[in-house]
Structures are given as structure tokens and as C-alpha cells.
């Protein structure tokens, strides 16, 4: 059976993006939200929300990286 692949539409991407947010799966959803904002660049509310999500995602990644580095420093300190 042959399967036909197609691009997701705006509504499908929105649903998929919200699903990723609900699952707290931030990496794929930023790709989805950015693609969605390119599909409908005149939607200023969506563009604003995508900008906020991008900012929050980067802050969260930085916070997680700092926590990881702090954990490594503590591990190195306790080995001495």
C-alpha cells in the first residue's frame, strides 16, 4: 500500500504544537511553532506567542545547563 505524505496545515500544526507543549516536549514544538508562524506571518498574536515561547525555551535550556554544570562541579569537588 502506497502512503501519500503531505505538509501539515495551519490547524494541524497548531494542534501538534499544543500537544508538544502539554507534554513539555520543548525541542520539537519550537520547530512546529516557527513553521506555523511562517505559514501565517500576518497573525501577530501567534508571532508574539512564538517569540515568547522561544525566549522561555532558551531561558529554560540555560537554567538546565547551569544546573548540570553545578552538579558536575559538586561531583568534582566531592572527589577531592
Per residue in 12-54, pLDDT (tens digit) is: 877 877 777 777 765 656 777 788 888 888 888 888 888 888 8
Q: Are 36 and 46 in contact (CB under 8 A)?
A: yes
Residues 6+ apart with CB under 8 A from 47: 37, 41
User: Is the residue at 70 inside a domain?
Assistant: yes
Look at residue 33 and tell me if it is in a domain: yes
What is the reported pLDDT for 3? 54
Asked, for residue 41, whether it belongs to a domain, the answer is: yes
Domain span at 14: 10-78
Identify whether 1 is part of a domain.
Answer: no
pLDDT at 79: 56
Is 37 a member of any domain?
yes
Residue 68 domain-assigned (yes or no): yes
Give domain status of residue 14, yes or no: yes
* pLDDT value for 45: 84
- 3 in a domain, yes or no? no
Collect contacts of 4-7 with beta carbons under 8 A, ≥24 apart: none
Q: How many domains does the chain have?
A: 1
pTM of the predicted structure, to 2 decimals: 0.58
Give DSSP secondary structure letters for 15-29: HHHHHHHHTT-HHHH
How many CB atoms lie under 10 A from the CB of residue 16? 17
Amino acid at each position: 500500500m502506497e502512503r501519500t505524505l503531505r505538509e501539515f496545515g495551519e490547524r494541524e500544526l497548531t494542534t501538534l504544537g499544543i500537544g508538544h507543549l502539554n507534554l513539555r516536549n520543548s525541542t520539537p514544538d519550537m520547530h512546529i511553532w516557527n513553521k506555523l508562524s511562517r505559514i501565517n506571518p500576518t497573525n501577530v498574536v501567534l508571532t508574539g506567542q512564538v517569540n515568547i515561547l522561544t525566549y522561555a525555551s532558551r531561558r529554560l535550556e540555560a537554567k538546565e545547563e547551569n544546573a548540570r554544570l553545578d552538579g558536575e562541579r559538586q561531583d568534582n569537588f566531592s572527589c577531592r
